[in-house]
Structure 1
């Protein structure tokens, strides 16, 4: 089956720091693909390159028969690749509803926006209950829900999630991963970047391990969860 997105020999550098060293990655439609590794491995850089927020030195990122490296970030969003940033990046001085409205800003199918809002509220009932309140007054977990909900309002073809469990309490972490799985069951393709390796591999069909800017392992999530190298490096005994 042809991948929905293909990364080939991608290099990214920040000055003299070679952040990505020729990585290859494929996403298949309807799957959760996890990209895991230690802090500083290049995971977030990979997402930023896909989103066009940083420029690659060389390589290609192909989606819908076009190299995304030639497109501006807003055009990449319009093509259907939407990122939930690390740290959530919600607009705290706007209401919950206004944040969600911004998610659908680029859409032209306004008749379907209301239906998608209902779906987001069904996924995150707390957002419906606090729709008119300031987003900055939400808890960390609620802000993560809002960030995901705002991205869904763009009706993405691929959802890019950057560390969605970061800084959350264990109960909220489990809830966020449950919701990610539920979103994926609608058929949405997801690329999940996570330091919580165990939780990410549990829900991912495919997964990649990134170390120091290089892909060192690729397999099913289940196989990597039981891989001795992964266990030793990330999961403990």
Structure 2
């Protein structure tokens, strides 16, 4: 598959602190790419720059040949690049269904939207059983499911996921990663930012390791899982 999104020499600063130091990576259409590394490596900052929530000091984000770097976040969503934020950011005082419908706010194709609603309910059956309940009453894992489902309602071409397993029980982590594989099998391109290096590299076709704002390793997910440097730094013996 060809490259659908390119990050070119991206640099992002917070004041005088350079958090991301000129990284470049390619997302291949229909594949999962994992960006892994320790807390504070610059993973979430990179994702926020791709989705327009932070403005880079240098570099480009190119999607389907179009430069997205200076666009507003809502314009980037309209192009098909949609982020699931760290910490879920669901609207707790709205129902599950209202959260999902808000996910599709840029869409005009109501019949297709209803089909996608049925699809996300099939991916996450627990959300169907709770669709009329307040989102704030969901468990942490269910809220993460809702955040992913809400992003899917925007009909993304590229899904950006920021730490989807954070704070979840092990069984729920397994379920989230299983669903991500299932979503990817529909042809959706995914950029997965994740501290759970083992799980992320298991499902990713490509992986990049970020340390102190720089990419230090790039390879297939499988090769990185067996790379001695990755094992030593992130996986244990």
TM-score bracket, shorter-length normalisation: over 0.9
Q: Deviation string for 1:209-235 (max 9, x for gaps)?
A: 000000000000000000000000000
- Give, in angstroms, the shift of residue 85 of structure 1: 0.3
**Structure 2 residue aligned with 1:21:** 21
Which whole-Å deviations, capped at 9, do the CAs of 1:64-120 have from their partners, x for residues lacking one?
221111211100000000000000000000000000000011012222001000000
TM-score, length basis structure 1: 0.99
Aligned length: 237
4+ residue segments displaced more than 3 Å = none
Q: What is the root-mean-square deviation of aligned Cα atoms in Å?
A: 0.6
**Residues 24-48 of structure 1: CA distance to partner in whole angstroms, max 9, x if unpaired?**
0100000000000000000001110
Counterpart residue number, 2:182 = 182
Q: Which runs of 5+ in 2 are unaligned?
A: none
Does the alignment pair 1:108 with 2:132?
Answer: no
**Corresponding residue for 1:39?**
39
Partners of 2:136 and 2:70 lie apart in 1 by 35
For structure 1, the residue ranges without an aligned partner over 5 or more in a row are none
Tell me the distance in 2 between the aligned counterparts of 1:112 and 1:35: 32
Q: TM-score, normalised by structure 2?
A: 0.99
Specify the SS of the correspondent of 2:159.
Answer: strand
Return the offset for 1:2.
3.5
TM alignment of 1:199-218, pairs within 5 A: 199-218=199-218
Alpha carbons 2:32, 2:205 under 8 Å: kept? yes
Separation (CA, whole Å) in 1 of partners of 2:124 and 2:59: 38
